[in-house]
Amino acid sequence: MIELGYDLEMSNWRGVIAPPGLSEDEADELEALVRELLATDSWADTLERNRWTDTYQGRAEFEEFLDEEVALTQETVKELGL
């Protein structure tokens, strides 16, 4: 995109998605499990091996992030005329 004159940068993020209908307790348990996994040596090794930056966000922050990403992507696609 830069070669075409667009100053564009996108990151490759990942998220944990659960089926609809999860209770608040189930969602809390899932979030706690993810936080536990983030504290493992295996995750630290994966970050180092792949040269990833750990940008963990909790549920509320990730929902806000997703809303922003959708809006930004829609704006970018529109500006590109796609």
Q: What is the pLDDT of residues 12-24, one digit of tens each?
A: 788 888 999 999 9
Is 41 inside any structural domain? yes
Average pLDDT estimate for 58-66: 92
Q: Token pair of 7, please?
A: 């100053």
Phi, psi angle pair for 30, to nearest 5°? -65, -45
Question: Is residue 71 in some structural domain?
Answer: no
pTM for the full predicted model: 0.67
- The verdict on residue 30 lying in a domain is yes
Q: What is the mean pLDDT of residues 8-33?
A: 88
3-state SS, residue 74: helix
In a domain, 31, yes or no: yes
Distances (CA, A) of 33 to 1, 13, 16, 81: 38, 19, 11, 42
